[in-house]
Amino acid sequence: MTLEVGVLGYRFMGKAHANALSRLSMFFPDAPDVERSVLVGRDEDALSDAADQLGFESIATDWEAVVDDVDVFYNLGPNHVHAEPSIAALEAGTSVFCEKPLAPTLVEAERMADAADKAGVPNGTAFNYRFIPAIQHAKGLLEAGELGEIHHVRGRYLQDWLVDPEAPWSWRNDAELAGSGALGDLGAHTVDLLRFLVGDDALAGEMERVSGHLQTFVDERPVEGSDEMRSVTVDDAYSAQVEFENGAMGTLEASRFATGHKNDHTIEIHGSDGSLRFSLERLNELEVLRADDNRGYETILVTDEDDPYVDHWWPPGHVLGWEHTFVHENYEFLSAVESDGAFEPSFQDGLAAQRVLEAIEASDEKREWVSIS
């Protein structure tokens, strides 16, 4: 069976997923055969060039004509175009993989998750960091109870691409188009990773209430190629305190103003029997500290052939990078589509992350703790 994939969006994420699709048959021979069937966008010339470069057979400027014509629809467009095309595809019985955050608003995310439940077809939110071998290794340790009772959970995602006030305005700075700023773009990843790692009832459980703070440091930015200045209507940074269901404490943070930090996503977890920490900038490593061993943190190189996904690539020690996370998530998602099985993170997981983001924003507005419903 060959799955025909239609992809909306051909910029950063379009390229990341097209690269993944092109690698699948080479490195994951048991993955379903996929055809990069149609690339969807608005600008026909740019679309044609992108289709040639990314290996798509055809182009379309009208997503409505595509969503029920393919087996799988990838929604990799900006956040404000996540809801309608995804819902239309689901209503047509097409499996949908959508970039994160699931939607700019909680209401739209709810509609999307509802449509996914009604359609009963595989659906996924593209939280690619779940598919890092070191993160899967960490999950294995946590599930085996090796860290004991979880007390502290910390997640921060630091970038610096907006620290220059002259950095141009983009859709990511607009509340209508993006929903929120660093909170939705980066915080969504952190919230999802923490749910993945410690969200089980036997560990910290779900996040129960939050106290959030959002900040916008630069209120307007120049529009590239013109004299116009446009308002920034989203946060440049956020921080939050979290209380988990089972009593663990969390602190979360993300910024686009963390000078010198390009894509620094760090997770730390402390349990009664040990601690672990992970940094995206050293993604082949996991640091683990055991309470009964006074040597401090031990660095585990997660590059062995028995580590998750590693055997599909190179001999042990030949490290993986950011782009491999997309191959892994595409492999899992498309395998679920082929077998009509379930995939996680699903639209419901995207919605669960969105509830946390929305509560952080509400808490900032109300200046009080907010429960996550």
Question: Strands, DSSP E only, in 122-248?
Answer: 123-125, 150-158, 207-215, 220-222, 229-231, 237-244
Q: In the set 95, 105, 159, 330, which binds ligand SOE (CB under 6 A)?
A: 159
Q: How many residues bind ligand SOE (CB under 6 A)?
A: 3
Q: Which is nearer to ligand SOE, 216 or 246 (CB)?
A: 216
Task: Spell out the residues 6+ positions from residue 260 whose beta carbon is closer than 8 angstroms to its own.
Answer: 160
Pattern 117-156, ligand SOE, x by CB under 6 A: ----------------------------------------
Q: Which is nearer to ligand SOE, 159 or 211 (CB)?
A: 159
Residue nearest to ligand SOE (CB): 185
Q: In the set 185, 192, 349, 358, which binds ligand SOE (CB under 6 A)?
A: 185
Measured CA to CA, the distance from residue 86 to residue 94 in angstroms comes to 9
Q: Which is nearer to ligand SOE, 82 or 270 (CB)?
A: 82
Q: How far is the CB of 211 from ligand SOE (least distance, A)?
A: 24
Q: Count of CB atoms within 10 A of residue 114's CB?
A: 15
Q: Which is nearer to ligand SOE, 159 or 330 (CB)?
A: 159
Measured CA to CA, the distance from residue 236 to residue 232 in angstroms comes to 9
Q: Are 350 and 102 in contact (CB under 8 A)?
A: yes
Measured CA to CA, the distance from residue 310 to residue 77 in angstroms comes to 30
Measured CA to CA, the distance from residue 128 to residue 142 in angstroms comes to 19
Q: Are 56 and 37 in contact (CB under 8 A)?
A: yes
Q: Of residues 207-226, which lie at the interface with ligand SOE (CB under 6 A)?
A: none
Nearest alpha-carbon partner for 67 in 89, 49, 83:
89
Pattern 230-269, ligand SOE, x by CB under 6 A: ---------------------------------x------
Q: Which is nearer to ligand SOE, 329 or 364 (CB)?
A: 329
Q: Are 77 and 10 in contact (CB under 8 A)?
A: no
Q: How far is the CB of 182 from ligand SOE (least distance, A)?
A: 8
The letter for the amino acid at 357 is L
Which tokens is 159 given? 């970038």
Q: Which is nearer to ligand SOE, 159 or 180 (CB)?
A: 159
Q: How far is the CB of 30 from ligand SOE (least distance, A)?
A: 27
Q: How far is the CB of 179 from ligand SOE (least distance, A)?
A: 12
The letter for the amino acid at 144 is A
Q: How far is the CB of 25 from ligand SOE (least distance, A)?
A: 25
Task: Spell out the residues 6+ positions from residue 244 whose beta carbon is closer than 8 angstroms to its own.
Answer: 150, 153, 198, 204, 205, 206, 207, 208, 250
Q: Which is nearer to ligand SOE, 15 or 152 (CB)?
A: 15
Which tokens is 280 given? 């995206």
Q: How far is the CB of 304 from ligand SOE (least distance, A)?
A: 25
Q: Which is nearer to ligand SOE, 15 or 151 (CB)?
A: 15
Q: How far is the CB of 19 from ligand SOE (least distance, A)?
A: 14
Residue 339 binding ligand SOE, by CB under 6 A = no
The tally of CA atoms less than 13 A away on the side-chain side of residue 299 is 7
Q: Which is nearer to ligand SOE, 159 or 346 (CB)?
A: 159
Q: How far is the CB of 314 from ligand SOE (least distance, A)?
A: 23
Measured CA to CA, the distance from residue 134 to residue 139 in angstroms comes to 9
Reduce the DSSP state of residue 253 to 3 states and report it.
strand
Residues that bind ligand SOE (CB under 6 A): 159, 185, 263
